[in-house]
Structures are given as structure tokens and as C-alpha cells.
Structure 1
């Protein structure tokens, strides 16, 4: 019998008791439904993320002829590379990404969050409640990424749909229809980015695409990098905002604490990422015969870190099932660890903090307007809707 069913609605509603039960038994478990072992303790997950004997080894979605665009995006992503190819691409991308883009965008992020939350508050006053996910969480990160890449319309409006559709392929069993939809979205994204890159070669600008072209990425690497920024940056921020604000509404004393003390914003962001992580599972593959927490992982086989399980490990976090917006220290693994630590983490932190600040100022007495429905996904954990009143 599997330790948990990743498609079970009750498990998806609250996976943390199941994770706690697994941690109490052993740090690593075989999972027949996922087909790979899963690490559930913080120490074991850290081993998975940092271990030099484990890597990200991309294997094309099959049949490969049916997924040329999806496979191209991932084959050329720095997240799916190891060793010298990874180091080279990460160095080039980090150099471009760190060229002042987060600092340049922060005023725009804060102004956009303030406007979106202001519009949300107007809908709350007019209708009694409004959806944070549709009005703020899903809009803000896409607009920021579009600004970062300087994506024009109509491609700008399509970014969110492309991201939502492509990431369904990361679920354990997306099904034939969702797989086909993901390939179509990937193909549209590739076409749009190739056109944008060609335009930037002729007309350079103050944007990340121009910087990536200057960094000498080839055409496929540039498209793969842009896709990674879109999917990781969009999905993570959307779900941190949704999961995090819901956690604050379920713990109103913590929301009141945050309203009273804006100085807690930085620690609150980290705690929201820890408490209910937007990415629950991250896979790596053994490049040689190795072991994680004493569990054998033969060369060529995969093992997953369950980041949500690591986030509630009492060996690392005092009172792990409690939300504490002032928690220090907070060594969560929500942005990964080791060589694949998220390059966009600083920008994601700015986006979440800007949203919390706008909500605190414009809707300090916020309440839950209705019980929120969850997305039926395990790997990318998030809400379909979060109505605020």
C-alpha cells in the first residue's frame, strides 16, 4: 500500500499529517504510486537537493515526436543540467539576472500590487467578497515577468495560460488531454520567444532578453531560460500568495500581528513559504550508486524530496505545525538548495512582501469570504480561488 495517494482529495486538502506519520517511521520511503522513493525529513531532503551523487538528468517526454516543444524547453533549461553545462549556463543567466533587474522592478512591483489590491478592495465593497487569486495572485507575477522580459501584447496576456498549462505535465499522471494541451502551450511559447529574441537582436532594450542575448546564450538556451523564469516565477509566487494569505486568515492572530508590525514582512514571507510550500516535490537522479539517509539509490534511478514534509520537521522547526510570522531561524527548502537554488528567489520575495503590504494597508480587517477550493494537483500546490471579504 502506498504511503499516500497524491490524487486523494482529502490528502490534497491537508497532506501534512500523512507526512508527519511517514517522518516518524523513517526519513525515506518507497512510494509505489509515484514509482520512486521519497525523502520526508529535512535532513534527507537536504541530501537529495545538495548531494553530489544526485543530479537533474532530463529524459524526454515520450513519445518524443509528440512533445518536441515541451522537450526543447526542458532540455535547454539550466534546471535540467548538471556539471559544467549547468555551471556555464547558470553563470551566464545569473550575470544577466543580477544586472539590477530586481532593484529596477521593485518600485513597479509595489505600485502594481497596490493597484491590484485596491481594485480587489473595491470589488469587496461592491459585491461583499472578491477573489484574491484571479485579481491579484495570478496577475502580479505574470506582469512582473512580462516586464522583466519586456514581452509585448498579445503574448503578454497569453503568458499565464501557457504557464498554467505547461506545468500540468509535472503531476504524477496528467492524462492524455493535459499532455497534449501542454505541448501546444509549449509550442506557442517557443514561437513567441523566438520572435521576441529576434526583435531584441535588432532593437536591444533594458530587459533580461537583451542581457541574455549579450551573455551569448544560444537560441534554444534563451527560450529554455525564459520558460524556466515564467513557469517557476509565476507558479511559485501565485501559490505562495494564495496559500500564504489563506494560512494568515486561518491564524487571525498572526495576521493581526503582521498588521501591527510591518517590520515582520521579511520573516513573514519566509514563514509563508515554509508553512505551505507551493512546490511539494523535487526530483533528482542518481548519477552513481549512492544512498540518502541510508536508503539505497542505484545509479540511474530517481528520488524525490518532499519539500512540504521537510518544512514541518520538528527536528529543525520548533512547533512546526504552527504559523509564526516572526520565526527565526527559518531554514526552509522552499526555494531549493545547492546548485539548483532558485535564481528568482529575491524577486519572488519582493512580490509576496508587496502583496502583504498592500493588503495590510488597504484591507486590514480582511476575512475569508468562502471556503476556498484547491487545485487538484499535488506537485504544484495551490488554490483555484480565495475569496476575501
Structure 2
């Protein structure tokens, strides 16, 4: 769809925008709807109880001003979302790092931030390179033998899955089983999540919670050099710094956010390489060139389309000339902000090295994603290797996508060698 076509899209006035984003054709291409929102309803009052914010400047303002748009305290969330009392998935969302406010947020982020320093992430490079070489070589061997290969399951997902698992200390034998729980858990951040989706998220949280509880107990008996052991030690030394509930919620958050979004970013990059072969040159140069390609991938089609944190207006506040009443829930449409022409000239074009506004793919301000550096490292290491070993790929059927508003993730990305 061209930019001109995008500008002509008008959502059905009889249906909520969130419902349309879950239906064809917007479930596969939401950007025309986002363009309509930015132009016609930059603060859109959804019937699901949230105002959807779509312009770059407004999204950035909310992210950088948590005193104006804080996360909800547990008491407020219980009042505004009574269903939360019966659903652990909601409770974890509210009490997680991304949904908390200072000083709690400052304390929790300080406890784990040292594990995601530039030096620590840089120290993982050799392991990431070794893993990427192995996965790419295996996929290349199969493709050259004439097979069709699902790069999502063969490369994109295993790369960040094994990296975050090694960092946390999740045993190899359990990783694939636990990974399938994440999409169900992520559904709870959907502003239009159905009761069935919330129940499925609860079931996934309970299964993962039982597993993590057993792993915490095992690490308490036999500590190792991993993040779970480090957090258990902090809790046991002083549970005023990290309570039982906070320990469990931190591990939920780190595991659920640690690989699915990066896998989606890798898949999106692979689609660009297949559909826009002129961009391949960016992965054949030096590291800054590859970094520019990765940054544009993250901007052009961000993995997380709706920021996971639920925020509320602390007072009557105007965005884009629209007053948001005190107490109104706001949801940040990162996918819409990433294509805002006020921030990016020719926003629908894929242009590495374009400069300009800082992408909001990993958030901003105090809630900027802790794992952003790790995700960038994984993509910057993996993608040039894929391009060198597999320079000419073709899709073998359309990519498989999940029907989810917050995360445009994949179920499959099947390819073959181009003729």
C-alpha cells in the first residue's frame, strides 16, 4: 500500500479502532489506521476505556513525564479495573517494573540495572557470535540441501531465547516449553483483551510462576553465576529491598520481555532483506552500517506496537489540543509514533542512516527498556551473518502472524533459496 493510499484510509466509524486493528486488513498492516489516527484523532477515546495516543511528540511527552502520566498504584488499579482482583495477570502487569512509579521503580531498576550495563552486555558478544554462527550455519546447510526453512523457529527465536536464558539461568531443557507461554502472557496488555485472553494469560502466569518458584528454591540451595541467583541473594539478604512478590514479578518481566520482542525485530529485518534487496548493502559493510540498518528496522516496524505500561493522567492535560481529563487511562501507540511524518520525513520508506528523531521502540525516560542494548547487540551480530551466508532468500508463502495489537510477532517465516 502506498503512502497515498494510506492517507485515504478511513476506519469504520461504527467500530472501535482497537477492534479494527484486530481484523483484516489492519491485523496484517496497521499503519494505514495509524495514519488516520494521527491525522484525525491523535487522542482517540476507545470504548475499551483508554485514550489512544498516536503522534510522536505526544507519545514522547507521556513517556518522559511520569509525574504527569504515572502508572496506576495498586489501589487505583483495583478501583478502575475490578477484574484485576481475580486475575494474576493483571496484578503482575500493575506491579511490574514497567508499570511502577518512583520510588519503587527507582529501587527495583537499581537492583537489576547493573546486569544490563554496556560492559556486561558487551561481555556477551562472544557467546552471541558463537550462537549466531551455529544457528545460521545449520539453516544454510538445510537451505542448500533444498529444504524450506522456517527462519522464525530456526534462527530468529532461538537467538534471543538462549541469550536471555543463559543470563537468567533457565536450564536448556526447559526453554522451549516455557517460551510458548509468553504470547499468551503478553495478551493481557492488549487494551481490548477478551475474558478468554485474560484467562489464558492467567493460566500461563500460573504455569510459569510454579516453575520459577521451584527454580528460586533450587538456586537458594545451590547458587550459580546467573541473574536468578543474584536476585535471590538480594532478597535473602534484605527482603525490604526485594520482597517475595517483587522477586517473582521481576523474573516474570525479564523472561517475558527478554526474547519475543527481539525475535520479532529479527523477523522484521529478514522481511526487509527479502522484499527490499537494495538494503542488503547495509549489512555488508562495517558495524556502524549494520547498526544503522538495525535502528531503521526498529523504527520502521517496531516489535511492540502499544507500550505495555498502563498510565493515567494525574491532572487535566492537553495533548495535540485535546484535553485528557484527570484519571483517564492512556495507551501509547508506538507503532503510530514510529511513522509520524512530523518526526520522520517519508516515514513509510525504509531509510537506514536517516537521522532525525530518536526512535521510541524501546520507550523513553525512566521506563526505557533495560534490555535495549542486548537486543541491539543480538540483531547487529546476527543479521550480517545471515546476509553473508544466505544472500538470496525468497519467501515460501506468507509469514505467519499472531492476532495481537500490542506485539506484531510471528508464528512462522518460511524461506527457500532464491532461484
TM-score by length of 2: 0.85
Aligned partner of 1:46 in structure 2 is 60
Aligned partner of 1:157 in structure 2 is 176
Residues 116, 136 of structure 1: 8 Å contact kept: yes
Deviation digits for residues 232-275 of structure 1, max 9, x if unmatched? 22221011111221123221101244335554111111110100
1:294-373 map, 5 Å: 294-373=321-400
Residues 27, 39 of structure 1: 8 Å contact kept: yes
Deviation, 1:184, is 1.9
Deviation, 1:169, is 2.0
Aligned partner of 1:56 in structure 2 is 71
Query: What is the aligned residue count?
Result: 387
Aligned partner of 1:231 in structure 2 is 256
Aligned partner of 2:87 in structure 1 is 67
**1:335–1:126 distance in 2 versus 1, CA, 3 Å:** same
Aligned partner of 1:375 in structure 2 is 402
After TM superposition, the runs of 4+ consecutive aligned structure 1 residues lying more than 6 A away are: none
Residues 374, 383 of structure 1: 8 Å contact kept: yes
Residues 285, 299 of structure 1: 8 Å contact kept: yes
Residues 283, 384 of structure 2: 8 Å contact kept: no
Farther-moved stretch of structure 1 (296-305 vs 19-28): 19-28
Q: Distance in 2 between matches of 1:297 and 1:380?
A: 26
Q: Distance in 2 between matches of 1:139 and 1:46?
A: 32
Q: Distance in 2 between matches of 1:333 and 1:64?
A: 28
Farther-moved stretch of structure 1 (80-89 vs 358-367): 358-367
Query: Which of the residues 56, 71, 81 maps onto 2:100?
Result: 81
Q: Distance in 1 between matches of 2:272 and 2:347?
A: 14
Deviation, 1:199, is 2.3
Q: Distance in 2 between matches of 1:156 and 1:115?
A: 18
SS, match of residue 353 in structure 2: coil
Q: Distance in 2 between matches of 1:99 and 1:225?
A: 20
Residues 55, 337 of structure 2: 8 Å contact kept: yes
Deviation, 1:65, is 6.0
RMSD: 2.3
Structure 2 residues without counterparts, runs of 5 or longer? 1-12, 236-241
**1:48–1:376 distance in 2 versus 1, CA, 3 Å:** same
SS, match of residue 319 in structure 1: coil
The answer as to 2:32 corresponding to 1:17 is yes
Aligned partner of 2:209 in structure 1 is 190
Aligned partner of 1:206 in structure 2 is 225
Deviation, 1:26, is 5.0
Deviation digits for residues 296-325 of structure 1, max 9, x if unmatched? 222222112111111111111122111122
The answer as to 2:384 corresponding to 1:384 is no
The answer as to 2:111 corresponding to 1:92 is yes
Q: Distance in 1 between matches of 2:334 and 2:90?
A: 25
**1:72–1:45 distance in 2 versus 1, CA, 3 Å:** closer
Deviation, 1:66, is 4.3
Residues 116, 374 of structure 2: 8 Å contact kept: no
Residues 282, 293 of structure 2: 8 Å contact kept: no
Q: Distance in 2 between matches of 1:46 and 1:172?
A: 20
SS, match of residue 29 in structure 1: strand
Q: Distance in 2 between matches of 1:62 and 1:119?
A: 50
Deviation, 1:100, is 4.8
Deviation, 1:154, is 4.2
Deviation, 1:374, is 2.1
The answer as to 2:43 corresponding to 1:28 is yes
